[in-house]
Amino acid sequence: MMEFTAKQIAELLNGTTEGDENAIVNSFSKIEEGTPGSLSFLANPKYTHYIYETEASVVLVNDSFEAQKEIKATLVRVEDAYKSIAILLNLYNKMTEKPSGIEKQSFVHKKAFLGKNIYVGAFSYIGKDAKIGNDVQIYPGCYIGNNVKIGNNCIIYPGVKIYYNTVIGNNCTIHAGTIIGADGFGFAPNGGETFLKIAQIGNVVIEDDVELGALVTIDRATMGSTFIRKGVKLDNHNHIAHNVDIGQNTVIAAQSGVAGTAKIGENCMFGGQVGISPHVTIANGVKISAQSGISNNVLKENSILMGAPAYDLRAYHKSYVHFKNLDDIVKRLEQLEKKLSSE
């Protein structure tokens, strides 16, 4: 990391300094692990006590932060410290040296089209009629199938497999081991104990600004397309089945599964290990707590759900009080029944 002063950081973030505006930083650190010359941040109130003991030279804080005692570090006050550290980390990431060129051990079909400033790592394969945009990085061991379209400024990390006819937009990041476009889970009973495989002839369409975590699997459609809309973020180990449509800016945490043909709205937030049944429709803005199961349509926008089967979060919390006391309630009922039967 290059060296920056607290004043330069404040100007970049439209913030203000409090303390030594000439304090210099050349690295990042967590506030509890701050060292001289590092930049840290305070966004979660649970970590407030660390700001009075951190050795970090500069700390980003919210404008609303009120110090209760002396702070050694220089403060840079900003509207949103968490958002501001994200901006700085992204700038730092862009400053790091990026690989370029096509490594010798890779295979690029003679009818594939590659844009400008491409990197293709060793042992990667790019198939016939594939079209790769400008400034794309394809790390070692990737498979890009026939007729795949990848937009500009995408990063494809090691071991990603992208099946034929997949379409990927601009500014997408796909982490290691992810598989896009494998067969949907389609089998028809064929009498007795056998099943007839249903050919999956559709594709996957991923729009701009999508990020997929490691080991995500997205199945191609039986017919038509499986859609991952603009701005969607999927955590590690998610599974998206055939013909699913996930709306813009929806985020889904790890180990969740969305079954075939489910339609997820825009701006939804799912916790880890959420399960969505087939053919279910989820409205815009719905939030689902971790380990919840959705088996019916959720048509009310901005609902907050929990449980399996999931229902309204407040109702769940009220019910949970009774769940915890269920054994005691049963015992009291049994005692009451005995008393009534003896009278």
Q: Supply 265's token pair.
A: 């709205």
Please tell me whether residue 153 adopts helix, strand or coil conformation: coil
Please tell me whether residue 332 adopts helix, strand or coil conformation: helix
Q: Supply 1's token pair.
A: 């990391």
242 is catalytic: yes
Distance of CA 34 to the CA centre of its chain: 27
Written in H, E and C, the secondary structure of 256-297 is: CEECCCCEECCCCEECCCCEECCCCEECCCCEECCCCEECCC
Please tell me whether residue 219 adopts helix, strand or coil conformation: strand
Catalytic residue among 49, 239, 242, 317: 242
At 310, the amino acid letter reads: A
DSSP one-letter string for 316-330? HHHHHHHHHTHHHHH
Q: Which residues pair with 240 in a beta bridge?
A: 218, 258
| Catalytic residue numbers, as ranges | 242
